[in-house]
């Protein structure tokens, strides 16, 4: 199937199995790092162009690529592999009880014809994952995610002893914290938000001397 035929096929059939209208899903997915429609197929094919792999290996490879902060679900990877096999871009063979996928010559031709699209995907992925190359960034993000997880577990464990009034108050606190976290996320590095009760530098006598 040619690149043009693939595009027409994709438009007729809504982008393929397991794509959920073109948005691939997995653990850690959120605003700013979604694969666009059909992107995951190119990423998978690029990996298979380097070496054959089974589905679990592909999941782990993407997880490592994003330092564990994004993991595609089996419900996305396996339908994507099946779709690529249906198109003739990969072949599958049993090995040690697992289905191992290998890119075909047609798949390599498809990748070669989609150079611009692949470059755009790579640039977008680097734009999102570049921060993860910084150790301090990874450590702080891990710490934040751990704190949020522990908080959720604590509430769940104590919920049976809490009154509706306490749960309501806790909910209000969580909503306020959520708003503050989202506000911090939207701040620009050049213009950080002034903390409540703190004066801006221009408002402090002698601050700019």
pLDDT band at 148 (very low <50, low <70, confident <90, very high): confident
| C-alpha to C-alpha distances, 68 to 27, 28, 29, 77, 110, nearest whole angstrom | 9, 8, 11, 16, 29
Segment of 30-34, 103-107, 144-148 carrying the highest mean pLDDT: 103-107
- 63-86: average pLDDT: 85
pLDDT score of 34: 55
Q: Is 131:21 a contact under the CB 8 Å cutoff? A: no
The DSSP-derived string for the chain is: --HHHHHHHHHHTTT-TT-TTT---EET--TT----TTHHHHHHHHHHHHS-EEHHHHHHHHHHHTTTS-EE-HHHHHHHHHHHHHHTSEEEEEETTEEEEEE-HHHHHHHHHTHHHHHHHHHHHHHHHGGGGSHHHHHHHHHHHHHHHHHHHHHHHHGGG--HHHHHHHHHHHHHHHHHHHHHHH--SSSPPPPTTPPPGGGSTTTT-
Q: What is the mean pLDDT of the chain?
A: 76
How much is the pLDDT for 134? 72
* Residue 99 pLDDT greater than 60, yes or no: yes
Q: Report pLDDT digits (tens) over 166-208.
A: 999 999 999 999 999 999 988 876 544 455 454 444 444 444 4
10: Cα within 13 Å, side-chain hemisphere: 19
């Amino acid at each position: 199937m040619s690149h043009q035929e693939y595009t027409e096929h994709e438009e007729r059939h809504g982008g393929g199995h397991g794509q959920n209208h073109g948005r691939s899903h997995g653990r850690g997915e959120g605003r700013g790092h979604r694969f666009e429609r059909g992107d995951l197929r190119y990423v998978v094919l690029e990996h298979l162009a380097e070496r054959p792999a089974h589905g679990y290996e592909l999941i782990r490879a993407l997880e490592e690529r994003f330092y564990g902060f994004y993991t595609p679900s089996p419900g996305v990877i396996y339908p994507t592999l099946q779709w690529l096999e249906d198109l003739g871009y990969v072949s599958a063979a049993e090995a040690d009880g697992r289905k191992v996928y290998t890119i075909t010559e047609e798949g390599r031709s498809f990748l070669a014809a989609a150079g611009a699209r692949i470059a755009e995907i790579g640039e977008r992925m680097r734009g999102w994952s570049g921060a993860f190359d910084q150790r301090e960034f990874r450590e702080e993000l891990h710490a934040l995610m751990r704190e949020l997880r522990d908080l959720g577990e604590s509430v769940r464990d104590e919920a049976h002893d809490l009154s509706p009034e306490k749960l309501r108050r806790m909910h209000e606190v969580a909503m306020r914290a959520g708003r503050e976290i989202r506000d911090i996320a939207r701040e620009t590095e050049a213009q950080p938000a002034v903390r409540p009760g703190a004066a801006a530098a221009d408002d402090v006598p002698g601050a700019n001397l």
